[in-house]
Structure 1
Amino acid sequence: KDKDAAAWVAETPDGEMIGYCTAAPCSLPAPDMPENSGELCRLYLDRKAQGKGLGTALLETALDWIDEHFDHAYVGVFSENEGAQKLYRRYGFEKVAEYHFMVGNHPDLEWIMKRRS
């Protein structure tokens, strides 16, 4: 219902949710963030659904939507998630900053990646 945000859900033929993706205006603490910046907020896929192209399909769908609604694209990614970082680099993202994201009472080091124009 929020025209500034979008979500996509991946399901099995039986209706079991196996992944989802969301995008919205960027809320990351990126330095010098330009106006009208969007963010790939979440992209999660059940382990049993990985390696079948579904994550890529969700990512491409979200990036197409971001490109239609924003002038810039960002994503936050866990500093130790090398697989996701590699995937985002293939789509033109590069690390521009890092910050600590609180997970419970534990701070995780997160990267902020921005898509090259």
Structure 2
Amino acid sequence: MLFTGYDNDCIRVNQQPYNSSLCIHAGRLTAPWGPERLRDITVESLDIFMDKEPEILIIGTGRTTAFPEPDALQRLSERHIGFECMDSRSAARTYNILLAEGRNVSAAMLLPGSR
């Protein structure tokens, strides 16, 4: 699965538009993922990534680069899951590059227009 486009209210995966947050993990796409804003990303919302742990989780944080609550990121660190937080447009591009390199990568994406 590749990100194939985005605008403020939509993310496209394999040309299919999604108008909600989404995640791609272990070959499956989940939409809506749950969190719609940065403050909604919690330890519980990241539990989906604890089964079949990825090497790295790309977290698209909406319009700008920001970081979820420290508790949520701490959970990833404790499980030895690398993570990168960046604006959702950059996150989509980075995910595609890492996937093309054959990396075990997952993505958690807020809509690009989210704050």
The two structures have a TM-score, normalised by structure 2, of: 0.30
Larger Rg: 1
* Structure holding more strand per residue: 1
The two structures have a TM-score, normalised by structure 1, of: 0.30
Higher relative contact order (CA 8 A, sep 6+): 2
